[in-house]
């Protein structure tokens, strides 16, 4: 006689990100503290899914992406890929998840402290406004482990800080401190360590009081500057600028200014 086995409940997926909302700000915290928020494929998938969910949620205007005080993220999970062949890495197509993250329409404020290295730096650069603590150490140290940046580091870092600094960081693996990152235009603002998260949240709320369509279009247009020739980018900017004049928020924003009152944006 066969004994029926008790059906085991599937284990709930590990919470590699923590999600909350604060008014119209959606907050995602990376949550692999033991490995300094190393980015494994599962974490990246959860992150992409949550960003897409916030993008679809009309009550959310701005997103905060935060690491811990010790590490925003110390890179892609080295253990996860150490034994992979080139073909295995190719078949995994992990950058498809990165492409999903890149397509987030709402502005993302990064709250960065401690290490933002390798894929961590690349993830930070996918964010829009970067608030860094004065303890931040930012770099692309892949060269130390026999590889090179793979999620946009050679392109986005170079566009942010210029060729000389990018070569220095990528070829020697050295970390930029917060002051260097700010001077190079890699981060938006540097704040004392104890305030990096509260400041990011405060700035996200400040942005969330603006017209949400204008926020999205403005983000889209700034990103164009990274990816196109100037003439094409200017044309794109002009189209989005005209398009905003078909929104109620534009009328409300300009009328409120004329009437010397605060605008009441509706995202319409
Ligand atoms: C897996 C990692 C990790 C990583 C740290 N850990 N970074 N695990 N992948 N990227 C783990 C350590 O193994 C250790 O686990 C724990 O986190 C704490 O780290 P320590 O090294 O003990 O801390 P510390 O001495 O303070 O050094 C911090 C550090 C160092 C300088 C950040 O951990 C480090 O150099 N990490 C690797 C950084 C890196 O090379 N990043 C690029 C990865 S490649 P245990 O179990 O020992 O406690 C990449 C390619 C991206 O990002 C391509 C796109 C996907």
Q: Which of 72, 78, 80, 97 to mutate to test the pocket of ligand 1 (most atoms within 8 A of CB)?
A: 78
Secondary element (H or E) of residue 35: none
Are 178 and 115 within 8 A, CB to CB? no
Q: Residue 14 phi/psi, 5° resolution?
A: -60, 140
Q: Is 78 in the pocket of ligand 1 (CB under 6 A)?
A: yes
What's the token pair of residue 57?
């949620």
Which of 81, 66, 78 has the alpha carbon at shortest distance from 17? 66
Please give the distance, rounded to the nearest whole angstrom, from the Cα atom of residue 113 to the centre of ligand 1.
15
pLDDT at 13: 66
Which of 152, 150, 147, 118 has the alpha carbon at shortest distance from 39? 118
What's the token pair of residue 44?
């990246």
Q: How many CA atoms lie within 13 A of 69 on its CB side?
A: 6
Q: Whose CA is nearest to atom 41 of ligand 1?
A: 75
Please give the distance, rounded to the nearest whole angstrom, from the Cα atom of residue 62 to the centre of ligand 1.
30
Could you list the pLDDT tens digit for every one of the 268 residues in the chain? 344 444 444 445 679 999 999 999 999 999 999 999 999 999 999 999 999 999 999 999 999 999 999 999 999 999 999 999 999 999 999 999 999 999 999 999 999 999 999 999 999 999 999 999 999 999 999 999 999 999 999 999 999 999 999 999 999 999 999 999 999 999 999 999 999 999 999 999 999 999 999 999 999 999 999 888 888 888 888 898 989 999 999 999 999 999 999 999 999 9
Q: Is 143 in the pocket of ligand 1 (CB under 6 A)?
A: no
Q: Locate the ligand 1 atom nearest the alpha carbon of residue 75 and give its number.
A: 52
pLDDT at 5: 45
Q: Is 119 in the pocket of ligand 1 (CB under 6 A)?
A: yes
Strands (E), the chain: 17-22, 25-30, 62-66, 71-73, 108-112, 115-117, 129-133, 137-139, 176-177, 189-191
Q: Whose CA is nearest to atom 14 of ligand 1?
A: 35
């Amino acid at each position: 006689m066969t004994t029926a086995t008790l059906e085991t409940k599937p284990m709930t997926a590990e919470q590699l990100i923590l999600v909350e909302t604060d008014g119209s700000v959606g907050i995602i915290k990376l949550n692999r503290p033991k490995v300094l928020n190393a980015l494994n494929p599962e974490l990246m998938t959860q992150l992409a899914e949550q960003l897409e969910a916030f993008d679809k949620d009309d009550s959310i205007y701005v997103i905060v992406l935060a690491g811990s005080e010790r590490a925003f993220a110390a890179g892609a999970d080295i253990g996860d890929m150490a034994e992979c062949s080139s073909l295995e890495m190719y078949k995994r197509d992990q950058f498809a998840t990165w492409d999903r993250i890149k397509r987030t329409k709402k502005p993302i404020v990064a709250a960065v402290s401690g290490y933002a290295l390798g894929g961590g730096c690349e993830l930070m650069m996918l964010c829009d406004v970067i608030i860094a603590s004065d303890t931040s150490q930012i770099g692309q140290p892949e060269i130390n482990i026999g590889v090179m940046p793979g999620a946009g580091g050679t392109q986005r870092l170079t566009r942010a800080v210029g060729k000389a600094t990018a070569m220095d960081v990528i070829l020697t693996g050295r970390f930029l401190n917060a002051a260097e990152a700010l001077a190079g235009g890699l981060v938006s603002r540097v704040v004392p360590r104890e305030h990096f998260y509260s400041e990011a949240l405060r700035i996200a709320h400040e942005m969330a009081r603006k017209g949400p369509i204008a926020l999205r279009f403005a983000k889209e247009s700034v990103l164009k500057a990274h990816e196109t020739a100037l003439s094409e980018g200017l044309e794109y900017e002009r189209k989005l600028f005209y398009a905003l004049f078909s929104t109620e928020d534009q009328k409300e924003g300009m009328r409120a200014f004329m009437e010397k009152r605060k605008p009441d944006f509706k995202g319409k």
